[in-house]
Structure 1
Amino acid sequence: MNYLQQIRAFDDYRLYEQKLSAGQVSLWYTLMSINNKTAWSTWFTAANATLESLSGLSRSGIVKNRNVLKQLGLIDFSSNGRKATSYRVSVLYTSDSAQGSVQRSTQSSAQHSVQRSTQHSSTLNKQNETKQNEINNDEADAGVTRGDVIDKWTSLWGFPNAIATPEINEWLDVLPADVVDFAITIAGEHQVKATGSLKYMRAVIEGWQKRDISTLDQAKKAAEEHDQRMKSERSGSTPARAKETLPDWAQTGATPTATRTELTPDQQAEISARIARLQQNGESRQEATT
């Protein structure tokens, strides 16, 4: 299965054929994600607990929404008693390989659903032929396609799950593919883990949208300014230490010298006279006590 063509066909189905609830969309993307992990097996099994965890739906919500998806011909499923339920995701786009898959599947118990899905797909492709040509031409001009974006995401964090895929499609609807591709590149350069990839991408994309950034050149300039600002903040966070120098007298090998004041001859004579008087007074007191 070509997952990019499948997702495009599903988006077109929702736009032109049938409006789906959020629960139905989430369940479909969840089954697509599981199907991808099975290397696109025609039939695969999925436990209800797994579907609940990935889709965010309750057990009753899964039962209700999968019945609607089956009635619309988008999926088929078969109960296996107490074992995990078997599912098949209908191919929504037309190609040689897809038609072969449909022909084989008509031999199974899901014949009516597959034929109806094929009819929906054929009508849908006719209605959107012009639109798809315009999208393909735009992507060719940009040099980066939706497929490139999905491939880069997959190479970094694995195939986008049922939560990430709708958001990626929304980003690609409002921004050129090369801008979204550049945002993924930035996340890769910052070694963002798979668990934080969606949160990081949301912050980058929302930040650009608030600043009306819609071209690759604008995105590159914004990223460069951000890096320079962060570098400046990091360098300014640690104050420069002043170089301390010791005074001359504290340098190794230096000998401190006392400060001396030179006396004039008169001052020296006065001091000598005071000393003489003190000595004379001292001798007089000593004689008086003897």
Structure 2
Amino acid sequence: MDYFKQRRAYRNFKMYEASVSNGQNNLYRELLDYANDEGKLDVQFRMKNSALLSLTGLSEPGLDKARNSLVQLGLIKYARGKKNVKPPEYRIINLYSRSAGYPTSNPTTSHKSRSAGLDEVGQPVGQGGGQLVEHKELTSTDPDLTDTDSYDDDAGVTREQVFNHWTSLWDFPTGIAIPEIDEWLTEFKPEVIDFAISVAEEYQVKRPGSLRYMRAIIKGWQKRNIKTLEQAKKAATDHDKRTANESKSKRYAKPHRKEITPKWMQNGASQANSKPNSSDNQQDDMSDEAFLAFMNSQEEAK
């Protein structure tokens, strides 16, 4: 692969095909330059995450996002590494061999570059014609670029994807939520925390109660020593079954008839000794006297 042709093709790609962010651009340029310096433009090569973080100025979530974007744009190929075993593996995809037919406002630019001898500059020659070949371990004089580090790049879900999932449901985490999420991600793999967010999403938990709901899930898993995604999924399934059975039992349970105890039994008195209150009798007598007085007045009027 010709380094300068690749550079020009990449520039045209940014101008006419896709938008590339600063983070994505920095990452691609560092990968391209490193591959050129090490004579690995046409083959796979390994590079530490910590080295890329230092060279690009990206954060770990930013590195994950930029790398995934470059893969989706068809600029690089990428294979995850193994924690404390081997760094991630990359391969630069040849851009200039495609017949893109980009427009140009200065047709002589390319010709002038060639006449200046840029394409004839000695370039590292790749192995093979664009085919993947057996990868040989790098022998770089800078071991910091290829030695393994503690950053786990083998997870199916990244930290950034966890935060993106949270943001898609409840906006960006608050200053209170971020430290707790970081603590959860220290204890659990990102895929487990992402599944917890999916559970909250399934139950349509709203933003005001999102953090409280997540705390309850994580606390329950901690008590039951649940660590893996498979264990978390089984716990969620068991919970759903248990909830469904409880709901079914309540639906078909016979209604309980509540017996009403007479007041005379509640007061501890016998029914035989239960007599009307004297005030009640007096009120009844007064009502009778009023009725008789009313009738007498009617007779006198006649």
Give the alignment's TM-score, normalised by structure 2: 0.36
Q: In proportion to residue count, which structure has more helix?
A: 1
Give the alignment's TM-score, normalised by structure 1: 0.38
Q: Which has the higher contact order (CA 8 A, sep 6+)?
A: 2
